[in-house]
Structure 1
Amino acid sequence: EKIDKFNQYWHITITPYEKEIEPNVPPVDDVLESFKYLSKRLGKENVTLRYDPIFINEEYTLEKHIESFEYMLNSLSGYTTEAIISFIDLYEKTKRNFPKAREVTKDERLKLGKEFAKIGKKNNITIKTCVEGTELDKFGIDSSGCMTKEVIERAINKNLNIPKQKARNGECYCLLNNDIGEYNTCNHGCLYCYANSNKRLVKRNLKLHDPKSPILIGEIKEDDIIIERKQESCISNEKTKQTRLF
């Protein structure tokens, strides 16, 4: 109820990985039910599935991913219009924390893309990629961006007055570029995590978390510099200011 006054657009990540990869992530079926709850409350345009990162090994084979993706989309049919996929990026911290991970080959990406597109079409769900180039476009997969101006306009059913932006990293046209999170603060413990450097640092930061503090980790100190960001509505022809996320 506290956030009902905000315009909202959610990305919800669900993967097929077990506890040895994602130690503290809730079971798949629990997250699917939470997804459906949000969809019923906000609308299917306002919640999108993220199936990422995708990696391949002896347990999580191409067949396993295809089976898992189909299970999820069959479950979410009618509850969302989009599903976003991306393949694992092996940053140095990822290699260190998940040494058994390897990049997905082009042949594997093409096989998954072809099958995922079929599953999406069957469930009337558009499959999109996140910064993966255009190699899967031939299967009907959308590579235009996962949180573009058009996506958000459709989700909140309002026009946005936003200048055209340059692509970040040459590919990403997503609008949001201010993250309210913080590195080394997630306790899910996923081996592939792009944000956590090591468990020790995460534990230290979590001990400093105070839910009553205005910042995520610790308290504001006397010598901290607080810069208040100017917030303006991007909604076209809006005459009255409202509290909003976008």
Structure 2
Amino acid sequence: MIINTGGRTDTVQYYTDWLLRRFSEGYVLTRNPLFPHKVSRYELTPDKVDCIVFCSKNYKPILPRLHEITDRFNTYFHYTITAYGKDIEPGVPSIEESIKTLIELSEQVERKRVAWRYDSVLLTKEYTIQRHLETFERMAQVIAPYIDRCIFSFVEMYKKLETNMPEILLFSQQDMDTLAEGFGAIAQKYGFPIQTCGTNGDFTRYGIHSSGCMTLDILGHANDIIFKDLKHKGMRQGCHCIESRDIGAYDTCMNGCKYCYANKNPRKAFENFKYHDPASPLLLGAIKPEDTIIEGVQKSFRKGN
């Protein structure tokens, strides 16, 4: 099975001690977001986990002890660095700090295990097409030698965004084409693959692949392992990723990104943090008498298993 640590929250940045403890103790509990009293238990051992996929906007807190996981497990790391400042991503380090940490991460785990995420791409009066292209190239020329690929997506206009970010501007097809053409040209100039993630649209004419950001091909190549030849159903519409299990929880990320889909509102995450206990097998709180714990299905995707 594939474990995902960063789809619901920035576990690496805010819950480092908890995350390391879970892998040390060899198991984790996660609540079902739709049925909170249903709790799944997953064994976090190398024989049960094919690969651990991380996603974060700040790996600095975990770098000194990351080897405790990478020494035992196959891994892959998504590092999100965008053009936005504190006005949109208040809890995220500056671009310069983030690039420095990405380089340190890459040197520790090897570039073949690091993907640069430039998403979500959105437009405001401040963050124009030109600003995106200029910032993307400024970052690309520095981090190109340290990444396996770049992944980007255009923001999805879901309902929460209208409330949390009223300043956002709608994309036209021409806007998306202009950005995609620019991103593709910059990636070619600096010699790294670029692909979309969860974006419905064909930008192959600009040298941009349409693929999942978490496929068995990517994870297998990064870790020199052979997976079964399986079709990826995806995690949602437009997604081509392999099935994974997220061990985080919604409404717990304190980055405060205005475009975030995982928090109802930025305040909720700070309110929930008081329920976090690094010693608990759950990210938030503890098991209650009315909870039902079930053993999560852990099937291997590795060839021969």
Match of 1:128 in 2: 195
Task: Specify which of 76, 83, 89 is matched with residue 150 of structure 2.
Answer: 83
What does residue 229 of structure 1 align with? 296
- Note the alpha carbon deviations across 1:88-114, whole angstroms, 9 max, x for none: 112111211111113322111111111
1:6 equivalent to 2:73? Answer yes
* 1:24-173 alignment, distance < 5 Å: 24-161=91-228, 163-173=230-240
Question: Deviation of residue 204 (structure 1)?
Answer: 1.9
Structure 2 residue runs without a partner (length 5+): 1-66
Label 1:170 to 1:203 Cα distance change in 2 as closer, same or farther (>3 A).
closer
| Cα displacement string for residues 205-232 of structure 1 (whole angstroms, at most 9, x for unaligned residues) | 1111111111011111122111122434
The letter for the 1-side match of 2:169 is R
Select the structure with the greater relative contact order (CA < 8 A; seq sep ≥ 6). 2
Bigger fraction of residues in strand: 2
Shift of 1:49: 0.5
1:220 to 259, 262, 287: 287
Can you list the C-alpha shifts for 1:43-63, whole angstroms capped at 9, x where unaligned? 111000000111112111111
How far is the alpha carbon of 1:140 from its aligned partner? 0.9
In structure 2, the CA distance between the partners of 1:229 and 1:32, relative to structure 1 (3 Å rule), is same
Other structure's SS at 2:210 match = coil
The structure 1 segments of at least 4 consecutive aligned residues displaced by more than 6 Å after TM superposition are none
Per the alignment, residue 254 of structure 2 pairs with 187
* Cα deviations by residue, 1:92-144 (Å, 9 ceiling, x for unpaired): 11211111113322111111111111110111111100122343111110012
1:93–1:197: 8 Å Cα contact kept in structure 2? yes
Equivalences, count: 238
- On the 8 A contact 1:89/1:103 being kept in 2, the answer is no
Contact 2:235 2:243 in 1 (8 A): no
The one-letter code sitting in structure 2 at the alignment partner of 1:93 is: K
Show the counterpart of 2:268.
201
Ranges in structure 1 where 5+ consecutive residues have no aligned partner: 239-246
Determine what percentage of the aligned residue pairs are the same residue: 37
- Measure the CA separation in 2 of the matches of 1:39 and 1:136: 28
When the two structures are superposed, what TM-score results if normalisation uses the length of structure 1? Answer: 0.91
Amino acid at match of 1:211: P
If the length of structure 2 is used for normalisation, what is the TM-score? Answer: 0.74
Secondary structure at the aligned position of 1:107 is classed as helix
SS at match of 2:115: strand
The CA distance in 1 between the partners of 2:244 and 2:300, in whole Å, is 16
